[in-house]
Amino acid sequence: MVIAESETMKSQSHVAVLASPGMGHIIPLFELAKRLVVHHGIHVSFLNITTEASAAQNQLLHSPTLPPNLKVIDLPLADISALVTEDTLVVARLCINVQESLKPLKSILIDLGKPQALIVDLFSTQAFDICNELSIPTYTFFTASTAFLAFSLYLPTLDCEVECEFVDLPEPVQIPGCTPIRTEDLLDQVRNRKIDEYNWVLYHFSRLTMVTGIFLNSWEDFEPASLRAIREHPLYKQINTPPVHPVGPLIKEDEPLTESGAECVAWLDKQPMDSVLFVTLGSGGTLTTAQLTELAWGLELSQQRFILVARKPTDGNTSGTFFNVGGDVNDPKAYLPEGFLERTKGVGLVVQSWAPQVAVLRHQSTGAFLSHCGWNSTLESITHGVPMIAWPLYAEQRMNATMLMEEVGVAVKPMVGKVKDVVERVEIERVVRMIMEGEEGKAMRCKARELKHSAVKGLNFGGSSKESLSRVVKEWKCDKI
């Protein structure tokens, strides 16, 4: 692959950005790339891993409306067929994909004229070795919470100090300077230290200290305790934690409306202010058949207005659409309770597979968000002042849900019923009514709107996030001279 270096690239500071597969990684890194181009005058080459790319990924990265100095460069397809099977878990599959896709990275970076920096996400740290060879500084854009970054930095120490499984510890995991993590909230990949996924996570987490700096998709006023711990606690100084730069919340600012997306917005236009519950579980999340049935009944019993993004249930995998988001076609009548669509017509709107999340969350009729608590969705909800019903599915979402409920005060988490891992319809009815009509819901809405103003302030001229990114950009521009 030969990539010609343009005259514009020669005269401007030039940075490359690399995201691992999955919309939860690609969206924030792409938003960072756009911000560097539009607000800071940086030329950005966005390196796109095409192997197993979803329809949503292709649509986002190959939009005809990209800024002129943002170039998307497709990496060659990698053959991973001999390395993965249908049983390979999501994180292991993702890491193998990245490993194989980065084999031509050295020649690509040379063809690009050796950018001044490479920014990667948490699961692309194999790039560090190549950049070291080429003397290219590396940065991580950490796409989860500051609290999770603290845990990630501490995990290699925890791995050395604890012999048993972390889930078998009698007390919550004590993260230096941070709120302890209950063992039941630990992410799936560290719940069993004997599996490949744990080894991959430990590998990437242990390399976080190799970078020049860590960008955070958060802001100074949102998670002050975790941020202070990373900057000041002796443990993080001992492991040589790089400087952290909160530059968020960077979320998808807009998206083109499809026909079904326009239908969602038009339906919302007819509803009263703060009256609609938006129900969607992220780009990769799916429910079991039993749980989806209970959710539908709970929504119906609540008698509240709702938009439900319906996705075909998968009984064995809560991240069932991680690699094919935007590409599945399904008929909700085939798996929602019989008569549900007819009985809720007018009160609820059911859309297939996908809805324009940003457009729905910013709409004045949206009063709450039933969310999986992925970090992108969390930031989108807070940035638009919308409280949440926390419904975590996988990754670090249980940690996020607990923090949003107990520390931030913008979420309620339904209780799992007597049947294992199923939230029953009566409980769903209760929390939906509470967040849409109750005093607790009103208090959460007020708190969410306070944080909305804090987030906007951080990104505006003179704000902490704006200035944090500007300082790093200034270093790049000085190096260019």
What is the rounded CA–CA span in Å between residue 27 and residue 29?
6
Q: Are 69 and 37 spatial neighbours (Cβ–Cβ below 8 Å)?
A: yes
Question: What is residue 405's DSSP assignment?
Answer: I
What is the rounded CA–CA span in Å between residue 61 and residue 393?
26
- The strand pairing partners of 46, in sequence order, are 17, 72
- Torsion, CA 138, CA 144, CA 149, CA 150, rounded to 10: 160
What is the rounded CA–CA span in Å between residue 375 and residue 401?
10
Angle between helices 224-232 and 146-161 (to 10 degrees): 50
Sort strands 411-412 and 388-390 into parallel, antiparallel or unpaired: parallel
Of 388, 467, 455, 373, which Cα lies nearest the Cα of 148?
Answer: 373
Rg of the chain over CA atoms, in angstroms?
22
Angle between helices 23-40 and 464-480 (to 10 degrees): 70
From residue 72, alpha-carbon distances to 19, 37, 77 in Å are: 12, 13, 15
List active site positions: 25, 121
Q: Is 463 helix (H, G, I), strand (E, B) or coil?
A: coil
Q: Are 143 and 376 spatial neighbours (Cβ–Cβ below 8 Å)?
A: yes
- Cα four-point dihedral sign 331, 308, 355, 77: negative
Question: Looking only at Cα atoms, what is the longest distance across the chain?
Answer: 68
Of 24, 20, 65, which Cα lies nearest the Cα of 46?
Answer: 20
Give the chain's count of helices (H) and strands (E). Answer: 19, 13
What is the rounded CA–CA span in Å between residue 260 and residue 262?
5
Tokens of 118: 């490479």
What is the rounded CA–CA span in Å between residue 43 and residue 41?
7
Encoded amino acid at 174, one letter: Q
Question: What is residue 241's DSSP assignment?
Answer: P
Angle between helices 439-459 and 425-437 (to 10 degrees): 60
- The strand pairing partners of 388, in sequence order, are 369, 411
What is the rounded CA–CA span in Å between residue 364 and residue 360?
9
